[in-house]
């Protein structure tokens, strides 16, 4: 028997430090995406962002991104 990686799931870290994502959102990975980098690229196509919150990075779905207080405008 051979084991194969099924990929990774990237879940939304919520709108702020103390709240969970109200939609319990996760990036819908495409068929060929097996690594976290590939899945995050899929998420960016769907409007997801990756931000720094405090000392770590967080992944935010489109509905949580506008409410993130640490969000910086991109040029």
What are the pLDDT digits (tens) for 33-70? 888 999 999 999 999 999 998 889 999 999 998 765 66
What is the span of the domain harbouring residue 60? 1-65
20: left (phi over 0), alpha (psi -120 to 50) or beta: beta
Is 7 exposed, middle or buried (CB count within 10 Å of its CB: 0-12, 13-18, 19+)?
A: middle
Structure confidence at residue 8 (pLDDT): 84
> How much is the pTM?
0.76
Structure confidence at residue 4 (pLDDT): 67
SS3 at position 39: helix
Counted domains in the chain: 1
Q: Is residue 75 part of a domain?
A: no
- Which of the two residues, 12 and 1, has the higher pLDDT score? 12
Is the separation of the CB atoms in 8 and 18 below 8 Å?
A: no
Q: Is residue 70 part of a domain?
A: no
Q: Is residue 72 part of a domain?
A: no
Residue 7: which of 38, 35, 27 has the closest Cα?
35
């Amino acid at each position: 028997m051979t084991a194969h990686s099924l990929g990774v799931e990237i879940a939304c870290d919520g709108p702020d430090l103390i709240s969970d994502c109200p939609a319990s959102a996760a990036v819908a990975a495409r068929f060929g995406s097996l690594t976290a980098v590939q899945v995050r690229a899929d998420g960016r196509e769907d409007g997801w962002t990756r931000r720094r919150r405090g000392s770590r990075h967080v992944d935010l779905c489109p509905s949580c991104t506008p409410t993130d207080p640490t969000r910086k405008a991109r040029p």
